Structure 1
Amino acid sequence: MNRRDVWRFVRKWVLASDVGIVYSILLAIVLVVLQLVPDSVHDHVVAFTSTNLRNLRVHPLTVLVTSAFVLPSWSGLWLQIPMILVVFSIVQPLLGRAILIITAAFGHIGATLLVSVLLRSGISKGLVDPAVRLASDVGVSYALVGVAGIVVAWFATVHMKLVYIALVSMYLLGYVVFSRTFTDVGHLSAWFIGLCVACVIGAARRRPLAG
């Protein structure tokens, strides 16, 4: 393979995976900046963009968007960002930018809102510490798990699809049962949101065109 072939391959890959690439670059920039600024600034940004109950009540649209672009620690650079690149690059070339972005948004926003409802219910019933209203909650995990759901449901072979779905569902459910954190409830919710999006896409593509 000569230099021209390499360039063509890279160009083709970038054009077919631009959503994941751009998203990863933005995540990396925000992460590096947050790690270089003073701790007080870092903590303020994380607190302001967190999808906790207080922020969802005061400025919901702002935190629902900005929280998906904030990784609070260096671990995001070698954990979440590579996973974003891989998973998003699988979906976009075959299903398109729109479906990828919609699935990621549904996973992030849907899981966040469900967790907030559960937290409010738990606080009102005295089952959850009211201090959780101000807890930090940022990151890409809900969006990532949502897109992973569509990857398994859409791209796995017919024979293995149910096996993969069952295994991942039990894995995430196990975290919910044993860790008992609302973040893990969000991951499970985002997973099923991704599966639902895959079902809707599959049904739409199987539907015969009118006329």
Structure 2
Amino acid sequence: MSTPSAIDFRAQGPRLYHVRPDHPLAAAVTVELAIEYSTRYGGTAGAIHQQMRARPAADFTPPAGGLVVLVEHGEPLAGGGFRRADRTTAELKRVWTAREQRRRGLASRVLAELETMMIRLGYRRAFATTGDRQPEAGSLYRASGYIEVGGAERGGGRYRFEKLLGSAELGGACFPGTADPARGFARRDVYLA
């Protein structure tokens, strides 16, 4: 597997990259996500960012987890990750789309790639937790086959979504060396250094 040191700026349309938590693209997504959370829930973006950075990098690297970023013209458009909850269950984290890029199906593409990665790592179930001030996240998970379990935690306004993963889930995924012409996405099955 090759390891490019730079983003392919010549690429047509958004390209999906697997990244390590310390890669600048992952850092950019984390910063933007912290700003988004502070805007929706209060608190400072700096404190939220520091809290996210406190997570061990190993949580988001194989074989426990993974991170992806969708990039166009060198700019991150969307991203997300997952980490191990238990031996067969992964937890989705940090799913984000740039405000000006929403309604293009980018989060769905990121989620599909994360699910493909989870299956390859042996996970059979995924879950996500989101807050009541992120209705777009709930809509994304429902549209992607996740089932809302329980209800909002008392007073917390948090919702949990779960999905069983399996080989049938791979049907819409792109694999190395292929593209999804219907969506205009190219996939890079590599880690950026």
Structure number with larger C-alpha Rg: 1
The structure whose residues are more often helix, as a share, is 1
* TM-score, normalization by structure 1: 0.30
Question: What is the TM-score when the length of structure 2 is the normalising length?
Answer: 0.31
Higher strand share: 2
